[in-house]
Structures are given as structure tokens and as C-alpha cells.
């Protein structure tokens, strides 16, 4: 009986050791698999990052080669990545920031509201979009609460220019629906509005004399031939002669900044680069860069 108990104990110990060793082997194999997968994903991610950066360089070249004088507000292209993974794709989206309204311009460098053009123009843009005109004051308060103290305590406002358009969602009183409606028409990057690429609501923000019908006519006319100067608009639309004469500091016929979004994707891994390029001679200078 004693020998049987000893043999039984030995069997139990043997099975226990085998189980422990098996668990160690499984854990080791899993660790190797995870490490290998992580290394593969890291390598793939680096390659996709390089592909996205190359796409940004190509976009910069396209911009500096004359895109600033075109009438197309958005340009998109997508194709397969020409190396390694045949399933990989890369897409590039170039947006003319001059086609949009710069919301930061409503408050000047000295903290006062810019009432000559930008603030009243924002009111016209909101009216064209059917949005609450109070949104302009909410943005002004966020940038400088002292300019609109009645809207909220200073400590809850940012007290400086917006760093991104997405920051609008942080401003009390601006809901998601209003944000989504406003998003295609606003920016924080451009210096002047480009009449060759601005959509009708942004054109309407330039003056209360530019109705929806007039804005549509301007858009239709520039499709035939882009405007070389604001004077060409007044020659075509005589009712806007006094308007164009006063817009020289706020609007023009070329663009100074473009937003580029490059997306490289393969095997479920994606790299995204978002950047804003300023036009300077034959180069695009980076004003903003985000990679994820």
C-alpha cells in the first residue's frame, strides 16, 4: 500500500511539473508572438509614416507649383502604395484655407474686437448658414472674455486664440449640430479670404450687398475664368464696385495657406498626417503638424 501511495504521489508531482512547464512554454510562445507582432506592426507603421510624409512633400510641391492660383477649394487623390504591401493605399486631401473664414481674426492682437470687417463678417456668415448670431460673441468671449464679460466668467474661457477649429466644441453655447454646420466654412490659418475658392456662404460674409444669388453668380463666373483681381469682380458686377474697393485688406484672389491630410493604410494599420502649409515663394512652410 505504501508503494502505491508513493507511486501515486510521484505521478501527481510529475503531472504538476508537466503542467507548470506547459504553462511556461505557452506563456513564452505567446510572449514571442506578441513581441513579433508588435515588431511587425511597428515596422509597418514606420513605413506607412514615411509614405504619408512623402505624400505631404508631394502636396507641398503641388501647392508651390501654382495651386494657390486655382479655383478648386479641395483636391483629393488616392492610390495604391507602390511598394511592399499590394493592399496598401495612400490618400491625400488638399484644402484651400483661403476659402474659409478665419474665426481668430475677430479679435485683434490688442484684445479688442475687430469691428472693421471680421466681426460683422462673422455675423453675415452665421446668417447665411442659418445659425444663431450669438455664436460670434461666444467665440470672441472664448478668445478674450473681457470683450464679452456678460457671457461667462473669465476663468472658464481660454483667454487666447483658438489652436484648432475643433476647439469650438469646448466653447459653452456651441453644440455639436452648430459646429458641424459651421466646420466646412471656418479656419484659424488664413490671412485673407480667396474669392476664387470661397463657397457662397463665405462670399456672402464679405458684404451685406452680396446676396445668395450674387454669390452664386460669382461662383459660376469664376468657373469660366478665375479672377486676377478684386477689380475684375466690380467690372463684372457693377453693384459691387464699392464693396470690392473696401476689401483689399481682407480678401484677394490667391491663397496663403493650405491644409494637407495624408492617410497611409495597409493591413489594418493606419498613419495620418495633418498639416497646414503656408505658401512662401516656391516652398510650403509648415505652420501646423500632427501625426497619429
DSSP string, 230-246: HHHHHHH-GGGHHHHHT
Helix (H, G, I), strand (E, B) or coil at 100: coil
Q: In the chain, where do the E strands start and end? A: 74-80, 89-96, 101-102, 186-187, 193-194, 251-252, 257-266, 269-280, 283-291
Judge contact between 174 and 186, C-beta under 8 A. no
One pLDDT digit (tens) per residue for the chain, 292 residues:
555 555 556 655 666 655 556 656 556 555 554 455 554 566 777 888 888 888 888 888 777 776 655 657 787 877 777 665 557 888 888 899 999 999 999 999 899 999 999 999 999 999 999 999 999 999 999 999 999 999 999 999 999 999 999 999 999 999 999 999 999 999 998 889 999 999 999 999 999 999 999 999 999 999 888 899 888 888 888 888 777 778 888 999 988 889 899 898 887 888 899 988 887 666 667 888 888 8
Residues 90 and 81: their CA atoms lie apart, in Å, by 6
Integer distance in angstroms from the first to the last C-alpha of the chain? 70
Place of cell 495633418: 274
Distance CA 84, CA 273 (A): 21
Query: 290 - beta bridge partners?
Result: 274
In angstroms, rounded to a whole number, what is the distance separating the alpha carbons of residues 292 and 264?
A: 11
Q: Is the dihedral of CA 242, 243, 249, 255 positive or negative?
A: negative
b/e code 25-47 from CB counts within 10 Å (16+ = b) = eeeeeeeeeeeeeeeeeeebeeb
Return all residues near 130 (Cβ < 8 A) that are at least 6 apart.
Answer: 181
Of 260, 225, 250, give the one whose Cα is nearest residue 64. Answer: 260
- pTM exceeds cut of 0.75: yes
Is residue 288 within 8 A of residue 277, CB to CB? The reply is no
3-state secondary structure of 167: helix
Q: Which residue segments constitute the domains of the chain, with CATH numbers given?
A: 2-97+256-291 (3.30.1300.30)
Contacts of 57 (CB under 8 A, 6+ apart): none
C-alpha distances in Å from residue 116, one per residue of 106, 113, 194, 245, 250? 10, 9, 18, 14, 10
Q: DSSP assignment, residue 113?
A: B
Q: How many CB atoms lie within 10 A of CB 201?
A: 21
The reported pLDDT for the residue numbered 8 is 57
Provide the CA 65 distance to its chain's centre, in angstroms: 22
The answer to whether residues 257 and 189 touch, using CB atoms and an 8 Å cutoff, is: yes
Amino acid at each position: 500500500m505504501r508503494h502505491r501511495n508513493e507511486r501515486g504521489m510521484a505521478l501527481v508531482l510529475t503531472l504538476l511539473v508537466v503542467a507548470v512547464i506547459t504553462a511556461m512554454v505557452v506563456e513564452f510562445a505567446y510572449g514571442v508572438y506578441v513581441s513579433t507582432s508588435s515588431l511587425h506592426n511597428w515596422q509597418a507603421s514606420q513605413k506607412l509614416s514615411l509614405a504619408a510624409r512623402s505624400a505631404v512633400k508631394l502636396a507641398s510641391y503641388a501647392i508651390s507649383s501654382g495651386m494657390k492660383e486655382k479655383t478648386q477649394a479641395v483636391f483629393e487623390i488616392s492610390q495604391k502604395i507602390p511598394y511592399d504591401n499590394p493592399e496598401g493605399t495612400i490618400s491625400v486631401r488638399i484644402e484651400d484655407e483661403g476659402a474659409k473664414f478665419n474665426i481668430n481674426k475677430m479679435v485683434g492682437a490688442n484684445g479688442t474686437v475687430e469691428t472693421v470687417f471680421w466681426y460683422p463678417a462673422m455675423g453675415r456668415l452665421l446668417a447665411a448658414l442659418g445659425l444663431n448670431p450669438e455664436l460670434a460673441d461666444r467665440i470672441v468671449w472664448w478668445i478674450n472674455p473681457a470683450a464679452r464679460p456678460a457671457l461667462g466668467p473669465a476663468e472658464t474661457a481660454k483667454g487666447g486664440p483658438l489652436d484648432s477649429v475643433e476647439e469650438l466644441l469646448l466653447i459653452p453655447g456651441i453644440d455639436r449640430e452648430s459646429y458641424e454646420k459651421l466646420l466646412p466654412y471656418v479656419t484659424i490659418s488664413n490671412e485673407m479670404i480667396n474669392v476664387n475658392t470661397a463657397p457662397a456662404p463665405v462670399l456672402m460674409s464679405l458684404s451685406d450687398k452680396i446676396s445668395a444669388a450674387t454669390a452664386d453668380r460669382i461662383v459660376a463666373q469664376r468657373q469660366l475664368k478665375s479672377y486676377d483681381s478684386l477689380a475684375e469682380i466690380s467690372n463684372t458686377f457693377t453693384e459691387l464696385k464699392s464693396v470690392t474697393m473696401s476689401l483689399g485688406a481682407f480678401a484677394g484672389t490667391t491663397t496663403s495657406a493650405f491644409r494637407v491630410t495624408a492617410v497611409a493604410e495597409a493591413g489594418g494599420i493606419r498613419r495620418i498626417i495633418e498639416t497646414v502649409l503656408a505658401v512662401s515663394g516656391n516652398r510650403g512652410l509648415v505652420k501646423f503638424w500632427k501625426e497619429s
